[in-house]
Amino acid sequence: MIMDGKRVLITGGTGSLGKVLVKRLLSGELGTPKQIVVFSRDEAKQHFMRLSYLENKSATDEVIYENFKNLLTFRIGDVRDFHSVSSVVRGADVIFNAAALKQVPSCEYFPFEAVQTNICGPENIVRAIKENDLDVETVVGISTDKACKPVNVMGMTKALQERVFLTANLDCNGTRFVCVRYGNVLASRGSVIPFFHEQILKGGPVTITTPDMTRFLLSLDQAVDTVFAAVKEAKPGETYIPRVPSARIMDVADALIEKRKIKKVITGVRPGEKIHEILITEEEIHRTMDRKKYYAIAPILPELASVKNIKPVLKDEFSSRDDLMNTKQVYQLLKKNRLLVGDVTGEVGEVLR
């Protein structure tokens, strides 16, 4: 299998996506890696993540190895620092770059901080591979719908991350650089659903920026499915997009509130925020191919083109404003992923119940 004997590096591995990515890699569904390295700058998150695995005295449904301690390791470092990146990249076969500044308002107020993490970080990975002539097989860049027609700093920096990685296919012989791009991940850190949970558990009000706002919705496992699909199938320079539904944020709030008597308040659009998100632009539809559960966007550079005479599968941009779920469908999606307010557990639930 594709991960058998591979040394895997996950930058930003203590984030929401990184944690699920680690768990899925440990499950062995893609094979048995030789090593998994979680690389991040937050020692506290690494400490608690390590403890959560140490507390598993026996194999679980997610972790099938008898002794993961020889498999999963943690490294403190920052993608902004070239020396730190150069050290941890050495020896890696597969790299998942999940390190990012992703809060839209934060990036608006501290744009250069976003540049350093979201652009300079990926460039450090590319530079480390190129200058040290490393035998890295695959690098997967994690991007976002906000990179399409970007209007905010977060999207602008993520769009450039995509180009940094995809262009690296021309400079790093033997390394395949691909990207994945997806929308709002249900219940990820900083997403709207935990925010709504907290407001509902406090008795309201629930704050909504504008009634018309829509977003693509997918679970963390669907996000990892997309990453794995790109690892298995994507050609150099391609960007993988999951085919996922979208909904009005107002309907998400209504589904979570259910029959509770909780007031909703419209607060206005925040700095850098879009009303609708796009996963594939009208320019990109001419390079978009069908890959079953996914769309694959061919690279913009002709030197990387591996598919000739592409037959576009879309007639218009892939926007969250189209094919919206209704409130009932949103409710069923949240119920399926155990994200209704009654399912809330952990720190937020314990504090606010």
Answer for the pair 193, 186: CB distance below 8 angstroms, yes or no: yes
Pairing of strands 246-248, 214-218: antiparallel
pLDDT of residue 293: 94
- For the stretch 238-285, pLDDT in tens is 999 999 999 999 999 999 999 999 999 999 988 878 899 999 999 999
**What class does CATH assign to 7-352?**
alpha beta
- CA of residue 114 relative to chain centroid, distance: 16
pLDDT beyond 60 at 232: yes
Q: Which tokens hold the place of 181?
A: 């791009």
pLDDT averaged over every residue in the chain = 90
Q: Which of 6, 19, 102, 146 is catalytic?
A: 146
- The pTM of the full predicted model, rounded to 2 decimals, is 0.90
pLDDT beyond 80 at 291: yes
Choice among 37-41, 172-176, 212-216, 308-312 with the minimum mean pLDDT = 308-312
Q: Reduced to 3 states, what is the DSSP secondary structure of residue 342? A: helix
pLDDT beyond 50 at 347: no
Residue type, position 20, single letter: V
pLDDT of residue 190: 66
- For the stretch 156-194, pLDDT in tens is 999 999 999 999 999 998 999 999 999 888 877 667 898
Q: What is the mean pLDDT of residues 307-328?
A: 90
Report DSSP state, residue 320: T
Active site residue 146: yes
